[in-house]
A and B are shown apart, each in its own frame.
Chain A
Amino acid sequence: MSASKKVHVTTTINKEEIDFLCEPRHSLLEVLRDNLGLTGSKEGCNNGNCGACTVILNGRPVDSCLVLGVEVEGAEIETVEGIACSSKLHPVQECFLEGAALQCGICTPGFLVAAKALLDKDPNASEETIRFDLSGNLCRCAGYDKIVRAVQAAGQQMNAEA
């Protein structure tokens, strides 16, 4: 895509109203990382095959590399930076730490966001559902075992807290 005039966009990120200028060719991932300094969302492939850039857009998990910045006018976005409540970690974050479900940590933000979206929908998700719904997130270090278990544990914790 070629360069063209920047567009003014107003949106809500992690419950805060934010506005930015971006070129129509800039992806939401570029906007988050380069314009807004929200570098928690990672670029692993830039074409929707690894899930490291997952954010929640209007309640649904999406690959932010496959969303244009100009598309999020008026949208509600949640990124990994917004998962924890002030200083308290979200259960899925806690369970990733306690279950050693991360090694290098580069895929972790995408997994956490996708897992939160899944658990918000169904905290009792089965192993099969977890594996199906999170198959758009690649991890190369951990072999997935501890990630699946951490997501299951987080669901249980969310149920207990509810």
Chain B
Amino acid sequence: MTTTQYRVIGSRPVRHDGADKVTGKAIYTADTKLPGMLAGFVLRSPHAHARVVSIDTSQAEAMPGVHAVITGADFPNVEDKVADLGEGSVNLSYLSSNCMAQQKVLYRGHAVAAVAATDVHIAEEAAKKIQVEYEVLESVTWVLDAMKEDAPLLHDDLVTDSMGAKAEQPSNVPVHLHFEKGDAAAAFEEADLIVEREFRTATVHQGYIEPHAVVADYNEDGRLRIWTATQGSFTCRQQTAEVLQIPLGNVLVTPCEIGGGFGGKITVYLEPTAALLSKKSGRPVRIAMTRADVFEASGPTPGSFMRVKLGAKSDGTITAGEAWLAYDAGAYPGGMIGPGCMCVFSCYDIEHAVVDGYDVCLNKPKTSAYRAPGATQVAFATEQLVDELAQKLGMCELEIREKNAVKEGSRRVDGPVYPPIGLLECLDALKQSDHWNTPLSGPNRGRGIAAGFWFGCGLKSSAACTVNSDGTINLLEGSTDIGGSRTSIAMQLAEVLGLEAEDINPQVGDTDTAGYTDVTGGSRVTFATGMAAYEAGRDLQQQMRTLAADLWDCSADDISVGEDGSFSAGGKTVGFKELAVELFAAGEHLVGRATVSPECPTNGFGAQIADVEVDPETGKVTVLRYTTIQDAGKAIHPSYVEGQLQGGTVQGIGWALNEEYFYQDDDTMANASFLDYRMPTMLDVPMIDTIIVETGNPDHPYGVRGVGETPIVPPPAALANAIYNATDTRMTELPMSPPKLWKAMQANQTSE
């Protein structure tokens, strides 16, 4: 446990970008306006699967006000190369075809052409005059159907890869993963109790309120400047340069303020298109997606089919696990099946386990990351089975989790063992919580709990701090700030230097000014970019010791730096600011810098408690009370840690109860609007109580663990367990929407 007393860390300063964001001054991408700027509009496929026979753009080009029209033919041919994007990798030909379809459209909403005009209405009218001839093909949107031998093939040349071994026949399954630990078959033989169920989850979307938007200005000298809503300016730069086949250094990406991402704003969708329209028209071009585009053409998270089995001894020890998982990849390979497989048993120390996973292409938009990608689905399955084991063994659902929880040294199904982690501490916090100790009473009510895990990654971050003549600091870093990270990073610099958070002026740089920094994702920013800021502060202190040695006429080794950031030598002690001012006056100016690439996962564990009431006549679930518990390692800004916990939880509640891509008979989405997609409103959730556990991460100077993703993992499982306890009905399908729950309750009553 961390016991160090900090001055800044753990306090709750007002965020540095706060005033801009409450007065409407903060500039998001769609707010950007350049002289001569045109508006772009993307024409999209109305079909789920079709061959593009021909495209005639002549009528659109002839319209007054239209400056450029492009189609897939304007995109350069990119080789079938896999580019490493820092966090994950991507096949460039797929990435390019996803930005603009070539011979085939693979989902409704797939871009086929784009127009730039003086006004977005003109661009839209022109786009509607583009004649596209389609040959409609048979389509498939359910993962098990897509795996069938006679399923319509999305990619003629796609074969299954089983860790380097290629299948002979093409299919819609690009990847088969297989993990084994111990001897699962034998362990099931010896188990006293086995539970097994099949689970299904619908495709859901991140649902950020800001639609994707971009401004591109392709200069005559070949320099491409992009302002965009991205989670990672450097990966955006790389993807754009690779798709357009232009030198990386020619591209400047300026990340604007970003209106939510949750994993959905890492892949490029509009950037290459806007760049090509700008190149063709010679004018800057802005494109913004409509809300329907966002649902139909950006990257949701996989729907899934899962069959999971657990075996236990009569004392509650879970001894065997088996999982068979098939996840949507969407139109192109590369879904979230890897982490799905690695998370299915990640909370429990199961000696014998076997996991098979399949990444499956089908006629839905290419999936992308969404907060702990792939983990929420499997938690929905495993956490219900753990409850079922407990119930059949007559154990308490908390007790069985405590008994089997992973701890330091537990081996994961994919092989590695855990370093020090905090699941047991989270379960203990749950046990001590007011919520757990307050009985729930009343008809049709139930309580459920669930645990959750997400890796959290390190990756690369950079920071530079320039000392001003008054001893305050301008901090330049490269992590786009989606939820207050400027401040949590600045606080770590303030702590190490003995300054106040307000003494630091943090700025998110662009790709020309900031040092290389990977995406804002993977729960990594406060952890890794915070670490970079800390190291930049340390760098500054080293430089100042050397320079102060001249000033004080001593050796640098004689000068020590205290916990409070003060410099001491020969009985003299001065604070950071004082020394900085003195040095500046003496003609010295200072820039501290650091690059870091921490490699150990930060291993974020959490546990949650949900109380629900189910309307027996309609199947509608009301969430009465909710508590989210998580190991943050060390909370830098507790308010924003709570905010991550609350936000992730409510997204998980939405995923659990109502959100889904509802597909019609023609495999197009019926509900591509906020009205019918049904994310939770303020009236649909209670206050979300939070308990922050701090076990300290040994791999971070202040003990930080990433917190952004784990909170979305337990809610569907916790709510399913609560619904079971309220209704005796086990829900194995997401969302647990009123019609489905009502139907399941009816079936349950009939069978009784």
Interface residues of A (CB under 8 A from B): 2-3, 23, 25, 33, 37-47, 49-50, 52, 79-81, 83-84, 89, 93, 96-100, 102-109, 112, 130-132, 134-148
Contact A148 B687 (CB under 8 A): yes
Closest Cβ of chain A: how far from B400's Cβ, in Å? 29
Residues of B within 8 A of A148 (CB): 682, 687
Q: List 27 A-B contacts (CB under 8 A).
A: A23-B121, A39-B28, A44-B209, A45-B673, A46-B291, A80-B23, A96-B22, A97-B18, A97-B22, A100-B12, A100-B640, A103-B482, A104-B208, A104-B210, A104-B259, A104-B482, A105-B257, A108-B22, A109-B24, A132-B683, A135-B683, A136-B681, A138-B679, A140-B260, A141-B260, A143-B650, A143-B651
B259 and A105 form a contact (CB under 8 A):
yes
Interface size bracket, B side: 35 or more
Q: Is the interface of A mostly helix, strand, loop or mixed?
A: loop
Residues of A within 8 A of B31 (CB): 33, 39
Q: How far is the CA of A30 from the CA of B207 in the complex (A)?
A: 23
A138 to B208, CA, bound (A): 10
Complex contact A140–B26 (CB within 8 A)? no
Q: Are A41 and B291 in contact (CB under 8 A)?
A: no
Closest 10 interchain pairs by CB? A40-B24, A106-B259, A143-B646, A143-B650, A105-B21, A100-B639, A103-B483, A39-B31, A49-B674, A80-B24
B647 proximal to A (CB < 8 A): yes
C-alpha gap A25/B261 in the complex (Å): 31
CA distance A42 to B674 in the complex (A): 15
Name B205's closest neighbour in chain A (CB-CB). Answer: A140
Q: Distance (Å) between the CB of B126 and the closest chain A CB? A: 12
Complex Cα distance A144/B28, Å?
A: 22
What is the minimal beta-carbon distance from B405 to any residue of chain A, in angstroms?
26
- The distance in angstroms between the C-alpha atoms of A79 and B258, with both chains bound, is 21
* Known contacts A103-B484, A106-B209; A131/B24 CB under 8 A: no
User: Contact flags (1/0) for B277-300 with A, using CB distance below 8 Å?
Assistant: 000000000001011000000000
Known A-B contacts A38-B24, A103-B484; A142 and B687 likewise in contact (beta carbons under 8 Å):
no
Question: In chain B, what residue has the closest Cβ to A151?
Answer: B682
Give the Cβ gap from B111 to chain A, nearest Cβ, in Å: 19
Seed contacts A100-B639, A142-B643; 15 additional CB < 8 Å A-B pairs: A2-B125, A44-B211, A46-B290, A49-B291, A96-B22, A97-B18, A100-B484, A105-B26, A109-B24, A137-B682, A140-B207, A140-B679, A145-B687, A146-B642, A146-B643
Contact B650 A144 (CB under 8 A): yes
B28 A106 Cβ-Cβ under 8 A = yes
B583 interfacial contact with A, CB 8 Å = no
CA distance A99 to B642 in the complex (A): 11
CA distance A108 to B30 in the complex (A): 16
Quick check: is B549 within 8 A (CB to CB) of the other chain? no
- Complex CA gap A132/B681 in Å reads 9
Report the bound CA distance from A33 to B31 in whole Å: 8
Q: What residues of A have a CB within 8 angstroms of the CB of B569 in the complex?
A: none
Given A103-B484, A106-B210, check contact A138 B674 (CB 8 Å): yes
- The answer to whether A42 touches B210 (Cβ under 8 A) is yes
A97–B16 alpha-carbon span in the complex (Å): 10
A153 to B642, CA, bound (A): 18
Residues of A within 8 A of B257 (CB): 104-105
- By the criterion CB–CB under 8 Å, are A135 and B12 in contact? no
Q: Judge whether B25 is part of the interface by a CB distance below 8 angstroms.
A: yes
With A49-B674, A146-B642 in contact, do A89 and B291 touch (Cβ < 8 Å)? no
CA distance A146 to B675 in the complex (A): 24
- Tell whether, in the assembled complex, residue B682 and residue A135 are in contact, meaning their CB atoms are under 8 Å apart: yes
A139 touches B209 (CB 8 A): yes
Distance of B745 from chain A, by nearest CB (Å): 27
Task: Name the distance in Å between A77's Cβ and chain B's nearest Cβ.
Answer: 14
B24 touches A41 (CB 8 A): yes
Q: What B residues does A39 contact at CB under 8 A?
A: 24, 27-28, 30-31
Interchain CB contact under 8 A, A140 and B211: no
Out of A83, A103, A132, name the residue touching B643 (CB < 8 Å).
Answer: A103
**How distant is the Cα of A87 from the Cα of B12 in the complex, in angstroms?**
23
Which of chain A's residues have a CB closer than 8 A to the CB of B82? none
Report B-chain residues with C-beta under 8 Å of the C-beta of A108. 21-22
Please measure, in the bound complex, the distance between the C-alpha atom of A83 and the C-alpha atom of B261, giving whole angstroms.
Answer: 28
Q: B203 on the interface (CB 8 Å rule)?
A: no
Could you tell me the distance between the alpha carbons of A25 and B119 in the complex, rounded to whole angstroms?
12
Q: Which residues of A contact B484 (CB under 8 A)?
A: 100, 103
Q: Which residue of the partner chain B has the closest CB to A101? A: B643
| Chain A proximity of B355: nearest CB distance (Å) | 32
With a cutoff of 8 Å between Cβ atoms, the chain B residues found around residue A142 in the complex are: 643, 646-647
- By a CB distance below 8 angstroms, the chain A residues around B24 are 38-41, 79-81, 109
Neighbouring B residues of A45 by C-beta, 8 Å:
291, 673-674
Residue of A nearest to B32 (CB): A39
A138 touches B683 (CB 8 A): no
Within 8 Å of chain A (Cβ to Cβ): is B15? yes
CB contacts (< 8 Å) of B261 on chain A: these are 104
Q: Which residue of A lies closest to B652 (CB)?
A: A143
A14–B450 alpha-carbon span in the complex (Å):
49
Cross-chain contact B673 with A143 (CB below 8 angstroms): no
With the chains together, A100 CA to B125 CA distance in Å?
Answer: 43
Taken residue by residue from 312 to 355, chain B's Cβ proximity to chain A (1 for < 8 Å, 0 otherwise) reads as 00000000000000000000000000000000000000000000
Task: Report the Cα distance A7→B517, complex, angstroms.
Answer: 49
Known: A3-B121, A44-B291, A50-B674. A106 touches B260 (CB 8 A): yes
Task: Give the residues from 1 to 53 in chain B that come closer than 8 angstroms, CB to CB, to chain A.
Answer: 12, 14-15, 17-19, 21-28, 30-31, 33
Contact assessment for A97 and B290 in the assembled complex, using a CB-CB cutoff below 8 Å: no
Cross-interface CB contact of A143 among B291, B637, B647, cutoff 8 Å = B647
Q: Who on chain A is nearest to B485 by CB? A: A103
A43 to B209, CA, bound (A): 8
Residues of A within 8 A of B258 (CB): 104
Q: Which of B15, B651, B682 contacts A100 (CB under 8 A)? A: B15
Contact at B682–A147, with CB atoms within 8 Å?
yes
How many angstroms between the C-alpha atoms of A83 and B648 in the bound complex?
Answer: 30
Are A89 and B687 touching (Cβ within 8 A)? Answer: no
